[in-house]
Each structure stands twice: as C-alpha cells, then as structure tokens.
C-alpha cells in the first residue's frame, strides 16, 4: 500500500530475574518494618504472578536507570551497535523518567551514543507509549523520517521502594498518628506496577524476509474535560484538584510522599471501562466502520485481571464482542509495565510464530491519569 508505515521489529528489555509474589515485598522493602495489609488482597485481584524490578537482588540498590533500560530495549532491535546509525528519529516515552530535565529522549540518546538524530519525548501515563508511536508513524508518513525508533520504558520500583516512604512514616509517628500505615492510594500501586521497556523499529517498507506489522491507524481520545485526575505523582489531590510538588517545601514533599504515585481507586473503578472502552470505541467504530469479524487478535493493556471481565462486558455493551480466545496478554508473567506494556505484549506475540499474513490486530491502551484511551489497528504482512 502506498505511503504505508510498518513495524519491522520489536524488542523488550526486562531487568534482572523475575520476582515472585512472595519475594516482592522483600525487594521493595517494608515501610516502617511492617508488612503491607493490602498486598495479599491486591495480588489476588490483579492476577500478576511475577514481575521484574531494576533492583539488584543482592544489594537492594537500583541497578538500571530508566534511560539505561530504554537503551537496552533499543539495542535489541539491531544486530550490533553499528546499526544504530540506521535510524534518523528517536521517540522515547516514560511516565516516570529519571529526571525532570533534560527530556527522557535526550538521556536515552546519550546512553545509545548513536549519531545525531531527531529526538522527541512524550509524557503521560500508560498512553505516552502510544503518543510516541503515533509521532514516529506520522513523521515517516509525512516523509520527514525514513526509519524511526520508538521506545517506552518504566522503572516504577524507583518510586515504589520503601525508602521513599520512610520520612512520611516517621513524620506520622512524630505527630502521634495512631495508624502510620501508608494511605491505600499509595500502597495499592506498590503491588501493581513493575519495570520494563519495549521498543519498535518503524519504516515505510515492509520486511523483505519474514513478517511486518502495518500500522493502519492510531486513534486516541482524552476525557479530561469531563473527569478529574485519577492517577498522579508529584502532586496532592485536594478537593478534586491537583496541587503540584513545586508549591510544597522540601520537608513537606518528604513528609507527605508528594512524589509518590497515587491512584483514586474509587474514581478508577467507576469510570475506567466506561470511558476508555465504551465512549472511545463508539467514536472509532463510527469513524472507521469497524466490525468484530475483522479481528484475529485483541491485545488489551489492563493493569489488573480485575478489569478483564469488565473490559469484555464493555465491549458487549456496545455490541462489539471480542471473545476471550482472541485476546492476547502477558500480564501474569511480565507484570504491569505501564506505557511499555503494549510493546512488551506485541513483542511476544510478533516473535511467537502465531501470526499469519493478512491477520488483523486491535490494540487497546487506556490510562487513568485523567482518563484517556487509544486503539490501534495493525495488519500482519
């Protein structure tokens, strides 16, 4: 097809060895030397059996930066470092980069040390990997790039480690709090998020040998005009509005764990599938004239097995049922790696020998930051 854009290769990087449910609290650390009351309940619900952390199991110290993990995923796209000169655009995304400035793509470029190229960073929560993909897709489609690399990476463990909550715990003790445990909206995410990176190589030519994935379209919608923030970091939520980290003193930021990732679980449960599945997909079905019979695979990103049936029911609600036998996920084995999840899933599916030319894949990526959603159609060629 004229002016078509293809994913030619996919790569995933997962740090260290897999961490089981029984090992994760030892790896992330105890807050106030006490086991989490919420951990067992959350793990039963989310269905994750193992995940990966950028934490040295011997020393307990972080042994990958976010940029280093992203660079490892990018290198996985190429036979050797000499091939890193072949792309002219690097689009990198993460919801939690290593620093506020410079941007994440600059740091990844610095790790790769490939020749000068265009660099772009996209930010957000789970959806920033898709906005990165769309930038690369449109860049090539416009004729501005011949070959682009997209990478999404998360090192959630750097934020979820117990050391980040020690000051808050001590502050609660000092102020005679009866129960100095972490608030649920913080503790909840310690058992949900993990580390990983996924990368894709895009061009305007399909592979001459083997399969490629043609990107037919990428559609995304934000519902921030209707809903308040649900998942956030570097802020506190007060009366439905976010008060940013830079309005707090350094001591306040530590005492209240302002930089931690938090989630309004009530708001999440009430709205996530309604808006990110039903409201989004209704718009795209009307725009693209979609039919369920077109799809051989459905690749949904969801944070927890708790949402699996809810996503399915939402598809049924809008008369767009995709039976579970068409679904592909690796959440139980690879964990919830946020913006990297869709690339880590597609990498496994692409390299699984399951795909056949002509098959169509529908991908779904929601984010609860302030409720956004994207769907992607890919065709195997």
* Same domain assignment for residues 75 and 105: yes
Pick the more confident residue, 201 or 253: 201
Task: Provide the 10 A C-beta neighbour count for residue 363.
Answer: 21
pTM over 0.85: yes
Residue 366's φ and ψ, nearest 5 degrees, are -100, 165
User: Which has the closest alpha carbon to 302: 329, 271, 275, 268?
Assistant: 329
Q: Which of 180, 209, 238 is the last residue of a domain?
A: 209
The H-assigned helical ranges of the chain are 24-28, 39-46, 66-75, 104-112, 128-141, 157-160, 166-174, 184-190, 250-255, 265-273, 280-288, 308-317, 331-334, 341-350
Q: Is the pLDDT of residue 190 over 90?
A: no
Q: Which of 209, 237, 271 is the last residue of a domain?
A: 209
Q: Mind listing the pLDDT tens digit for each residue in 41-99?
A: 889 999 999 999 999 999 999 999 999 999 999 999 999 988 999 999 999 999 999 99
User: Domain containing 96: what range?
Assistant: 5-209
Q: Which of 164, 181, 209 is the last residue of a domain?
A: 209
Whether 348 and 330 have beta carbons less than 8 Å apart is answered as yes
Token pair belonging to 90: 């690097």
Q: Per-residue confidence at 100, pLDDT binned at 50, 70, 90?
A: very high
* Same domain assignment for residues 137 and 222: no
* Same domain assignment for residues 221 and 192: no
Q: Mind listing the pLDDT tens digit for each residue in 127-148?
A: 999 999 999 999 999 999 999 9
* Same domain assignment for residues 185 and 144: yes
Q: Is the pLDDT of residue 271 over 80?
A: yes
* Same domain assignment for residues 62 and 184: yes
* Same domain assignment for residues 169 and 222: no
Name residues whose C-beta falls within 8 Å of residue 189's C-beta, 6 or more positions apart in sequence. 156, 160, 261, 262, 263
* Same domain assignment for residues 108 and 92: yes
Q: Is the pLDDT of residue 280 over 70?
A: yes
* Same domain assignment for residues 112 and 23: yes
In a domain, 71, yes or no: yes
C-alpha torsion sign, points 294, 207, 94, 183? positive
In a domain, 249, yes or no: no
* Same domain assignment for residues 191 and 221: no
In a domain, 110, yes or no: yes
* Same domain assignment for residues 280 and 169: no
Q: What is the pLDDT of residue 173?
A: 40
Looking at the structure of the chain, the number of domains it has is 2
In a domain, 257, yes or no: no
Average of per-residue pLDDT across 350-357: 97
In a domain, 233, yes or no: no
In a domain, 247, yes or no: no
Q: Mind listing the pLDDT tens digit for each residue in 304-318?
A: 999 999 999 999 999
Instruction: Check which CATH number belongs to the domain holding 58 and give it.
Output: 3.40.47.10
Q: Which residues pair with 93 in a beta bridge?
A: 122, 152
* Same domain assignment for residues 185 and 280: no
Q: Is the pLDDT of residue 286 over 90?
A: yes
* Same domain assignment for residues 141 and 281: no
Q: Per-residue confidence at 256, pLDDT binned at 50, 70, 90?
A: confident
In a domain, 172, yes or no: yes
Q: Which residues of 328-346 are buried (b: 16+ CB within 10 A; e: fewer)?
A: bbebeebbbbbbbbbbbbb
Whether 255 and 223 have beta carbons less than 8 Å apart is answered as no
Share of the chain above pLDDT 70, in %: 93
Distances (CA, A) of 130 to 38, 107, 137: 31, 20, 10
Q: Per-residue confidence at 211, pLDDT binned at 50, 70, 90?
A: very high
In a domain, 21, yes or no: yes
């Amino acid at each position: 097809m004229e002016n078509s854009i293809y994913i030619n290769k996919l790569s995933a990087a997962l740090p260290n060895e897999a961490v089981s449910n029984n090992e994760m609290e030892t790896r992330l650390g105890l807050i106030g030397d006490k086991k989490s009351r919420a951990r067992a309940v959350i793990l039963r619900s989310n269905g994750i059996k193992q995940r990966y952390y950028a934490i040295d199991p011997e020393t307990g110290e972080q042994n990958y930066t976010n940029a280093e993990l992203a660079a490892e995923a990018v290198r996985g796209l190429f036979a050797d470092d000499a091939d890193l000169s072949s792309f002219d655009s690097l689009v990198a995304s993460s919801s939690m980069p290593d620093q506020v400035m410079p941007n994440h793509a600059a740091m990844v470029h610095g790790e790769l040390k490939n020749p000068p190229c265009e660099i772009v960073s996209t930010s957000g929560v789970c959806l920033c990997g898709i906005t990165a993909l769309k930038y690369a897709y449109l860049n090539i489609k416009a004729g501005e790039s011949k070959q682009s690399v997209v990478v999404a990476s998360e090192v959630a463990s750097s934020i979820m480690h117990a050391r980040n909550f020690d000051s808050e715990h001590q502050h609660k003790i000092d102020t005679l709090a009866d129960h100095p445990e972490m608030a649920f909206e913080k503790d909840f995410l310690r058992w949900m998020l993990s580390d990983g990176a996924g990368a894709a190589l895009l061009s305007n030519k399909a592979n001459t040998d083997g399969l490629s994935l043609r990107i037919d379209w990428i559609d995304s919608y934000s519902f921030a005009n209707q809903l308040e923030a649900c998942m956030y970091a570097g802020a506190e939520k007060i009366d439905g509005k976010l008060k940013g980290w830079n309005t707090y003193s350094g001591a306040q930021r530590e005492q209240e764990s302002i930089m931690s990732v938090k989630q309004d679980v009530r708001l999440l449960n009430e709205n996530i599938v309604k808006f990110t599945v039903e409201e989004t997909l209704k718009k795209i079905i009307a725009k693209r004239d979609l039919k369920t019979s077109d799809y051989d695979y459905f690749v949904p990103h969801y944070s927890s097995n708790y949402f699996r049936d809810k996503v399915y029911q939402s598809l049924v609600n809008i008369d767009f049922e995709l039976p579970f036998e068409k679904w592909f996920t690796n959440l139980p084995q690879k964990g919830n790696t946020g913006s990297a999840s869709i690339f880590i899933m597609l990498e496994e599916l692409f390299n699984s020998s399951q795909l056949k030319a002509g098959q169509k894949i529908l991908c779904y990526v929601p984010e609860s930051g302030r409720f956004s959603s994207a769907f992607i159609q890919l065709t195997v060629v």
